[in-house]
């Protein structure tokens, strides 16, 4: 019997540790830097010599405060990948802070973890969802299989990917234009543009897999 709803969340303790730990580490690191700057005998380049001359006690307060702020910024960036997977009788919902993807449950043929991403594919191999995930693969496998959705230990189409290079005769001009634009986004680190162009290629029937800053592609079956 299928469960009415299954939820696989990022553990609460992991998120608490993230939000408390990174600011504490940031403050400690900058305090260590401040201590090094206080050593009069230590030779320092020009900008750091100026930092050594900051008035006290303001500097002793400002330095750890800056570390806390930097730690909070890093925590916010990392927390964006805190994924929660919710499987209901109607859909599979992948949600993280600032983003939610809902896929009809009947359309999901297989789920798997590809490196640090959770993937959902349809019956023709079309990519339905791809979200950052650090959830336990064992917990994900149990949740999907309990609900009648196949789980694969790796991408079942892994051997079908080919590397994109400009001018491949198998690809039409429209696909080449999107791959070229996406390559620029990969090189510049523009994640938003990279994801948007991946979706555009998906609408043309192509699935894209990145390896460092190289793009690999395959056609869907339908």
Q: Considering the chain, what is the average pLDDT of its residues?
A: 82
- Cα 153 to Cα 53, 110, 119, 140, 178, distances in angstroms: 57, 10, 11, 11, 30
CA dihedral 34, 39, 42, 46 (to 10 degrees): 50
Condensed to tens digits (0 to 9), the pLDDT of residues 2-12 reads: 555 677 766 66
* More confident site: 143 or 32: 143
Count of residues making up the chain: 222
Q: What percent of the chain has pLDDT over 90?
A: 55
Condensed to tens digits (0 to 9), the pLDDT of residues 64-88 reads: 677 777 777 776 666 566 788 999 9
Task: Give the pTM.
Answer: 0.70
Q: What percent of the chain has pLDDT over 70?
A: 72
- Cα 104 to Cα 39, 50, 62, 84, 151, distances in angstroms: 62, 59, 51, 16, 16
* More confident site: 128 or 16: 128
* More confident site: 132 or 92: 92
């Amino acid at each position: 019997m299928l469960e009415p709803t299954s939820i696989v969340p990022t553990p609460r303790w992991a998120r608490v540790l993230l939000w408390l730990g990174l600011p504490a580490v940031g403050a400690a690191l900058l305090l260590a830097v401040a201590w090094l700057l206080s050593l009069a005998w230590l030779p320092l380049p020009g900008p750091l010599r100026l930092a050594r001359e900051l008035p006290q006690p303001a500097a002793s307060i400002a330095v750890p405060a800056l570390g806390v702020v930097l730690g909070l910024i890093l925590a916010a960036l990392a927390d964006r990948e805190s994924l929660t997977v919710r499987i209901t009788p109607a859909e599979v919902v992948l949600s993280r802070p600032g983003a939610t993807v809902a896929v009809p449950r009947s359309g999901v043929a297989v789920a798997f973890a590809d490196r640090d991403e959770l993937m959902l594919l349809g019956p023709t191999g079309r990519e339905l969802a791809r979200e950052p995930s650090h959830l336990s693969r064992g917990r994900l496998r149990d949740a999907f299989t309990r609900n009648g959705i196949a789980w694969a230990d790796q991408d079942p189409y892994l051997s079908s990917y080919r590397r994109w290079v400009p001018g491949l005769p198998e690809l039409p001009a429209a696909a080449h234009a999107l791959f070229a634009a996406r390559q620029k986004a990969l090189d510049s680190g523009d994640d938003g543009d990279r994801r948007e162009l991946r979706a555009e290629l998906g609408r043309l029937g192509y699935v894209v897999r990145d390896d460092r800053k190289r793009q690999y592609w395959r056609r869907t079956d339908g």
